[in-house]
Chains A and B, each alone.
Chain A
Amino acid sequence: MIRGFLVRLGEGALTLLVIVSLSFFMQRLAPGGPFDHERELPPETRRALEAEWGLDRPLGEQFLGYLGGIFRLPPDLKRSMTRPDFGVTELIAPRLAVSLSLGLVVLLFSLVLGIGLGALAAARRNGFLDHAVMALALLGLALPNFVIGPLLKWVFAIELGWLPESRWVSPASMVLPVLATSALYVAIIARMVRSGLVAALGQDFVRAARARGFSERRVLLVHALPAALAPVIAWLGPAAAGLAVGSVVIERVFDIPGLGNTLIDAAFNRDYTMVMGAVIVYSAILIALNLLADLLLLRVDPRIGERR
């Protein structure tokens, strides 16, 4: 198992390196640079800026210099090109905290609600509750968050005035973004849990548990649920990825000072160092989450480890 973990870790590091290299060169291929404005800079100023940021050196040299900066402890992500008063790390840290807290709350909320609803539907399968939950889930799947977000905002913030409409000033600011983001995840989890449970309930070990006289609730929650959760856990890693990416939209809608918003602006403004910083942080988180999901899966279902 340790070996498996180390292999995955190595793979993760390699993936990160590939992502860093690709993003570095891809954004340089895009026409236009951080100092191209409708109003042209005086050539002396442009030269000085390019020298300051090393943009006058060959691309390969710039790349090696950048790599040298990030594979160092602590990593040096340079200053932001459009907000040069601040280091990229300094600009990213508070935004990352915002994005991650939003993502974590969404994940937790979706897990609790999704598993609960899924279990409920499975317990009452083909009953009214089952149909109601699955219909709701279908709605959650069908409605994209850029529709749900503005809709919630309009009803609860602007018309009713119950909740803050945007920005990030108190935990109440979190409610609408969390609801808007969670809809999809609750729906997916509920459907997965329901079908997992329905399948598990027909299995021998569940029949054995029933035969031993355990209550139906205990059979469902203690015996069948762990088996039904395996696919959910396998899905969690990539889902966290989706969450990170998905929250870009929600951050835009609710003007949350998160990482996604920052990445979009940086890309439009050709803030090379900021884009790289955000990409590195995003990828590191995604890779780490996938790694974590693999480990969890290994614990839940040891056969996976043996097969490796």
Chain B
Amino acid sequence: MKVPGPVCRAAVVAVLVVLCACGFTGDVSRHGDRVLVMNNMAEPGHLDPGLVTAAEDQRIALALFEGLTVPDPQTLEPRPGVAESWEVSPDGRRYRFQLRATTWSDGVPLVAADFRHAWRRVLTPPSSDPRRQFADQRHYIASGSAELLYVIAGAQAWHQGRLDDFDQVGIRVLGDRLLEVELERPTPWFLELTSFPTFAPVPRAVVEGLGRDWTRIDHLVGNGPFRPVQRRLGDLLRVERNPRYWDRDAVGLDAIVYLSTDQIDTAIDQYLAGESDWVRSFNPKKVRAWRADPELSRQLNAPPFLATYFYRFNLRRPEFRDPRLRRALALAVDREAITRFVTGLGELPALGIVPPYVATDWGGAQPRGLAYDPARARALLAEAGFPGGRGLAPLTIAFNTDVKNRAIAEAIQEMWQRELGIEVRLENREKRVHVAREKDGDYLISRGSWIADFSDPVTFLDFLRAGRASNRTGWRNDDYERLLDQAADCLDRARRLELLRAAEEILCVEDPPILPIFHYNTAYLLRPGKFEGLHANPRNVHPPKFIRMRDR
């Protein structure tokens, strides 16, 4: 053994060196008295509020930044944030915000110009166009959420390079603590938008001084109830209360730890082992077993979520030109069976695209026109020229790889084969491939989902308008366009909802480019009796400033 001797010694030394460098830093997650540890289900992508799109980033942004308003944890109604009060003009197009005297976490006063600057930054993607070169060009960002700001007058034109002067965009700084916003058209959900990270202010001097490094946690300056104190890549992000936050006495937690675990099984194990208090938004495979367990069923929450699961029909394909085939297919899907036996979270079967709980005055009604009716489906199929499915080439359902997507597709495959005699094939695709193919129109029937941007039915109707990038079906219906245009300018709420309901009738019954299947429930595990200020709400938004430990 003469030769490997020194090698062994070298190996031992190497192991020791690596062990010292391998990054065990102890479990800091529980450090402190009033700490909430949650599985955030992904490594944060962006801490810059202007760049935030993913849900896991939004959760963190809500702790670090605050917009003009903050959503009520229960009703989601706007509550004062940086704005202490506001006035709305009678035509619903002009909002005047009175800001409170407050500061950034570094003590610099927060002023109305910080909002204008932040919104301009989101609306100005870096561009090679010489007309779009500015002195502070390098601080602008390519934001995936810029479209949310299109409600502001001129914002869309500016973002698309059709406007040369930002002063023409409807954002006016009338004083250090007075901000006026002019909207493109009346937007009843505007005060909900102003609570989104995209509408949060950013500290101009810090951003311009540090460039993109400003979101490093040792540099980051925010105005939210919490400030970041520790980040370990692939492991966790810890935030602690911001001593300069205006409403600091109302903040109930000392710290929040966001675990980056992205494996659902691992996250559940962490929860069961007591390492985390809250497993957020997942697709539980074990729900049935949990429901049966008296202890776990108390910890499992599955409230309705403002999102819809549906199939797109590709209308560029000849077989789908005739709406009768699409309607026959919709009529042959027993959605109740799917929500009862396949999805299992108590989801609501969807006959329309808009979840009935979107707003209290939406009325809870769904279009009933294409409810499960196999006999009518067969008759309609025959009318369309395919009696008993004869003459119809096999239909392919494409979905992104996922156990649940497959199970749903298999159920529908079986229903169409049994009721209509149609041969159905399934094609699963990796997530990004699925999106890319769908965009290229390379599908026949394709699984999709839509999550509400805000609590108004229009968010579910707008994305399928002609020319919208997220339409992807090639569908265009002039009556639908007209109804939505009318609704957009309608100030009478009841009339507006009526117009939207008529539009949904076209979209989901008369000439459907989509087949709605169910409205999502979100599911989470929350340690019972430990926290309060956390309420189930249909946007699954839980502003961290309202969360507190329950006294025991």
Contacts and interface: CB of A to CB of B under 8 A. Distances in A.
B339 interface: no
Interface in A97-123: 97-98, 100-102, 104-105, 107-108
Given A45-B144, A261-B234, A97 B18 contact: yes
Contacts of A300: 3-4
Contacts of B439: 36, 40
A52 B109 CA distance: 33
Interface stretch (B20-28, B201-209, B404-412, B484-492): B20-28
Contacts of B262: 265
Contacts of B26: 169-170
B74 interface: no
B24 A168 contact: yes
Contacts of A19: none
B292 interface: no
B159 A42 contact: yes
Nearest to B471: A40
Interface of A is mostly: helix
A161 B432 contact: no
12 contacts: A31-B436, A37-B435, A40-B439, A40-B469, A85-B46, A85-B48, A98-B22, A101-B15, A221-B1, A229-B4, A255-B263, A296-B4
B359 interface: no
What is the size category of the interface that chain A forms with chain B?
35 or more
A51 B126 contact: yes
Contacts of A94: 23, 232-234
Interface in B250-301: 259-263, 266, 269-270, 272-273, 275
B71 interface: no
B436 to A, nearest CB: 4
A30 B437 CA distance: 11
Nearest to B7: A296
Given A41-B144, A165-B273, A91 B233 contact: yes
A306 B19 CA distance: 38
Interface in A260-308: 261-262, 265, 268-270, 296, 299-300
Contacts of B3: 226, 296, 299-300
B470 interface: yes
Contact of A167 (B212, B216, B235): B235
Nearest to B267: A255
Nearest to A35: B144
Contacts of B143: 45
A83 B14 CA distance: 31
Given A108-B15, A166-B269, A44 B159 contact: yes
B448 interface: yes
A162 B79 CA distance: 47
Question: Which one of B22, B45, B437 has the highest number of Cβ atoms from chain A below 10 Å of its Cβ?
Answer: B22
B323 interface: no
Contacts of A161: 273
Top 5 nearest A-B pairs by Cβ distance?
A: A32-B432, A257-B234, A48-B125, A40-B469, A48-B142
B430 A268 contact: yes
Contact of A40 (B19, B266, B470): B470
Given A268-B431, A270-B432, A97 B21 contact: yes
Nearest to A174: B24
B14 A104 contact: yes
B19 A101 contact: yes
Contacts of B2: 226
B24 A170 contact: yes
A157 B274 CA distance: 11
Nearest to B160: A44
A36 B436 contact: yes
Contacts of B213: 85
Contacts of A254: 266
A107 B14 CA distance: 12
Given A45-B146, A269-B432, A108 B234 contact: no
Contacts of A221: 1
Contacts of B4: 229, 233, 296, 300
A107 B15 CA distance: 10
A281 B441 CA distance: 38
Interface in B390-422: none
Contacts of B19: 101, 105, 171
B146 to A, nearest CB: 6
Nearest to B24: A170
A84 interface: yes
A157 B273 CA distance: 8
A67 interface: no
